[in-house]
Structure 1
Amino acid sequence: MQSEIIVVSDTHRFNGYLTDLEKAYPQADLYLHLGDLQDDPSRFPKWKFVRGNTDDFFPGQLMPSMRVVEKDGIRILMTHSHKFSQSSLKEELVRLAQENSCSVVLYGHTHVPAIKNEQGIWMINPGSPSIPRNQSQPSYARILIEDGEVKPELIRQEKWPFKRISRTE
């Protein structure tokens, strides 16, 4: 049995990407957004959200700042990570994952994609499809769960299964 999870963060009002991802991965089991949507989350009923630092407006205030989701026995912690010290981010996210019995932490805010395994915990930042930073390319993440094994990957723009003409369409 295999499950598929699509993860995006920091779309900053350029939310056509969410529709693109739904169409490109109609079979996905979960669609997760890690904050800085800057839009009404009810417009995207297939997605689960956490609140980012730019989502502090109504109805963005209704999004939780952190949440745990579970798929096929894998517990996944979602956070935007803006409330954590960037100098100790890794340690704080590992601690939070351990406290919540999670083997995967998804975080955003930096707009820089990353996948690392720290102390047996997958730490995944999908980057940003609309406003990448630090010379990174636009990106999102895809996670496969197969027989209890987590298989994360970053999908950079040149490998996207869709073509977006502009960020705003």
Structure 2
Amino acid sequence: MGLEWSEQSTMKIVVLSDTHMPKKAKHLPSIMVKDLETADYIIHAGDWQTTEFFHELKQYAPIIGVTGNVDSPELKTLLDKKEILRAGDFKIGVVHGHGTGKTTERRAVDTFMMDEVDCIVYGHSHIPVKKESNGILLFNPGSPTDKRRQKDFSYGILTIGGKIEAEHIYFDDKS
């Protein structure tokens, strides 16, 4: 389990979750495509929905992704439920966060309890989160196609260099 990427001093990782394509959108939001075109890596924290979307996204940059609770059986043969990406000097845990009991965030944190990670990327709730807990950056990008009760659609960007910097990109039109 896990992938490694450490070829350059700074890298841009586009972070997605809960895209639910093609159910919630027929194409990627144009604002996000611009970032995908310059991404060194893509993290997808589950609920893609189809393998077709996985292959579409793979055309932009290398992907590390996990399955969510609505993903197809075909996707579940391609991807695991948990991954760890080594990015430079950092380890990034990726999980969807679905399950029973506890909050989505608590389930995501508990998934990596036995691993040494610097950042945990998770999805499922469609709620953007960026905070630190016990020295670990917790990051949920929200959803670029299914904002639910959120004001805006969103995705994230991690910039990895001497440290991990995380930001949300918010937008109100998913076209």
For the pair 1:50 / 2:66, whether they are aligned, the reply is: yes
CA distance in 1: counterparts of 2:100 and 2:156, whole angstroms: 22
For the pair 1:70 / 2:86, whether they are aligned, the reply is: yes
Code of the aligned partner of 1:75:
K
Q: Does the 8 Å CA contact 1:67/1:78 hold for their aligned counterparts?
A: yes
For residues 73-103 of structure 1, the C-alpha deviation after alignment (integer angstroms, 9 at most, x for no partner) is 110000000025343x444433443422111
Name the CA shift for 1:59/1:93 in 2 (closer, same or farther; >3 Å).
Answer: closer
CA distance in 2: counterparts of 1:18 and 1:97, whole angstroms: 31
When the two structures are superposed, what TM-score results if normalisation uses the length of structure 1? 0.81
Structure 2: gaps (5+ residues): 1-8
Deviation at 1:29, TM superposition (A): 1.8
Q: Does the 8 Å CA contact 2:67/2:75 hold for their aligned counterparts?
A: no
**Which SS does the other structure have where 2:32 is aligned?**
helix
Q: Does the 8 Å CA contact 1:113/1:136 hold for their aligned counterparts?
A: no
Aligned length in residues: 159
Partner of 2:6: none
Of 20, 26, 43, the residue aligned with 2:37 is 26
Name the CA shift for 1:15/1:7 in 2 (closer, same or farther; >3 Å).
Answer: farther
Q: Does the 8 Å CA contact 2:45/2:94 hold for their aligned counterparts?
A: yes
Q: CA RMSD in A?
A: 2.3
For residues 43-64 of structure 1, the C-alpha deviation after alignment (integer angstroms, 9 at most, x for no partner) is 4323322101000422444311
Q: Does the 8 Å CA contact 1:76/1:104 hold for their aligned counterparts?
A: yes
Name the CA shift for 1:42/1:19 in 2 (closer, same or farther; >3 Å).
Answer: farther
CA distance in 2: counterparts of 1:73 and 1:84, whole angstroms: 33
CA distance in 1: counterparts of 2:140 and 2:146, whole angstroms: 14
- More displaced 10-residue stretch of structure 1: 90-99 or 27-36: 90-99
Matches within 5 A, 1:126-145: 126-145=141-160
Of 8, 13, 16, the residue aligned with 2:27 is 16
Q: Does the 8 Å CA contact 2:45/2:67 hold for their aligned counterparts?
A: yes
Deviation at 1:136, TM superposition (A): 3.4
Partner of 1:38: 49
CA distance in 2: counterparts of 1:72 and 1:59, whole angstroms: 28
Partner of 2:119: 104
Identity fraction in percent = 26
CA distance in 2: counterparts of 1:5 and 1:15, whole angstroms: 23
**Which SS does the other structure have where 2:73 is aligned?**
coil
